[in-house]
Amino acid sequence: MRDAHTPTWNEKLGWIFVLLALAVSACTKLGPDFRTPGTDVAAQWIEADDSRVSSDQPNYKDWWSVFADPVLNRLVQRAYQENLPLRIAGIRVLQARAQLGIAVGQFYPQTQQAFGSVTYLRTPTSALGIAPAGDGGSRSLDYWQADIGVALSWELDFWGRFRRAIESADMSFWGSIAAYDAALVSLTADVASTYVFIRTTEERLRIARNNVAIQKESWKIADARFRGGATSERDVQQALTQLNATEATIPQLETSLQQAKNSLSVLLGLAPSKLGDLLDGACSIPQAPVQIAAGIPADLLRRRPDVRNAELQAAAQCAQIGIAKADLYPAFSLSGNIGFSATDLGTSTLADMFSWNNRTGSFGPSFNWNIFNYGRITNNVRLQDAVFQELLVNYQNVVLQAQQEVEDGLVAFLKAQDRVVSLKRAADAAKRSADLATIQYREGATDYTTVLTAQQALLQQQDDLAVTRGDIPQGLIATYRALGGGWEISVGQPFVPSETQNAMSERSNWGGVTGQTHVDDATARQTDTLFSSPDW
């Protein structure tokens, strides 16, 4: 019976080295661990004392439903499905997911290659120290050699280089999801804002055309009185001046209206058009509720995707410091190969390739160390640290800007409501004044300047009222945009549509990654990537 193999001291030392390397690589990570920096966050909104502002949690998911406008609901849903920049953001999530898979793969043996060859060799006997033939002629050794086997090389993660790389890629992946969410927040707000602008411009056009009709009647009255000798031609020319000036505002408003429709078309993934069918339905300016639930400022740190993205970018960069620091230390590797080799020299044949006695192999540790790098590595560490510090300050600034945007939206929403009350009274008074001035002029009790002034005031007050009525929903939209609402509609949905998934899967093996659905990263994110499994 064959005795069991007893490990030699060299083999024992080799296994001890492997186990020690794995133990050290499991617990050492150079560089700082990321901690979210402190930020200046207000305890409550400036307008919190207003009864129209509530600290309750608002309905972020489909905040546009507060307008109770089915046309707007339909437009937002279509934009979510068809908007091309949003699709680009979704594809970038897949890119980041693939980058994470690459980083995870670097943690494991970096080289694992099967090799094989069949080679014909001709070597002069003189090169082998064999005396030439008796006749002095040169001879050679001709033979075939075959080799097959597997080679492996593994740089051990002594200093956490690869784990920091996984950590960085992981944060970048979640950051790409936050960027997708931020794009969706902007998209829903842009669609709603453009839609309100369209309805507001339509209302302003209606007002302008109504005033044209009123001014035409005044012009006819002035012309009739002039022909009857009751007044001078100046009244007629003043009437025409006012009429033509009002008519000139209509093409300008029509231009703004079509340009807004063009913008909305692109948001919906369409070529610019008049959007006839899509805008059919309610045609008035959307009515906003009097009150708004704004939560508290601290909610922004969790809610706003761009705040989360700024934090994740800083976290990803923090890991880059550890990657750079690892270059200051030696890199330890394990290398080896095992295989079979055979020749046809002497009594051997290539058929003996897989004979156990023809096995070959090597194994052993190695290291390399950049001793003289002339400050290159140290300055790279400094560079990564400076970029990290920049991103920390950027995160704090994003938080401040987020609070400013909410405050701006709230004050615009509230003060537009206050302004509408006064403008409504002013517009009613202007309408009454214009009617009275026209009656008095027809009866000869006043001159045309009174009519002109009254009609100018009427047009101005009605137009201001329409614009301010549009400012109310615009202020509410700006507030919800600043609060980071709207991205929740994508939770549970894939980042790219099915036709894009199919096209990408036909070109490459995505292994189901293209169908990955959106999850709330606030609850699903994991930062412990020590033993991440390879993504095959």
- What are the pLDDT digits (tens) for 432-473? 999 999 999 999 888 999 999 999 999 999 999 999 999 999
pLDDT at 354: 85
pLDDT at 534: 74
Q: At 525, which helix (H) or strand (E)?
A: none
pLDDT at 79: 96
Mapped onto helix, strand or coil, the DSSP state of residue 229 is: coil
d(CA 129, CA 270) in angstroms, rounded, equals 82
Residue 306: pLDDT band with limits 50, 70, 90 = very high
pLDDT at residue 1 is higher than 50: no
Region 288-313: what's the mean pLDDT?
A: 91
DSSP structure class, residue 191: H
Instruction: Provide the β-strand partners of residue 340.
Output: 148, 359
pLDDT at residue 134 is higher than 70: no
pTM value is: 0.87
**Pairing verdict, β 53-54 and 292-293:** parallel
Instruction: Provide the β-strand partners of residue 367.
Output: 332
Sign of the Cα pseudo-torsion (463, 464, 467, 473, in order): negative
- What are the pLDDT digits (tens) for 55-80? 887 778 899 999 999 999 999 999 99
DSSP structure class, residue 419: H
Going from the C-alpha of 35 to that of each of 41, 301, 311, 312, the distances in angstroms are 17, 14, 9, 11
What the chain holds in terms of domains, given with CATH numbers, is 59-110+154-331+374-518 (1.20.1600.10), 115-153 (no CATH)
Q: Could you give the angle at which helices 448-483 and 376-442 cross, rounded to 10 degrees?
A: 150
CA count, 13 A, side-chain hemisphere, 458: 27
Cβ atoms of 312 and 171 within 8 Å: the answer is: yes
Q: What are phi and psi of 343, to 5 degrees?
A: -130, 170
Q: Could you give the angle at which helices 376-442 and 161-227 cross, rounded to 10 degrees?
A: 20
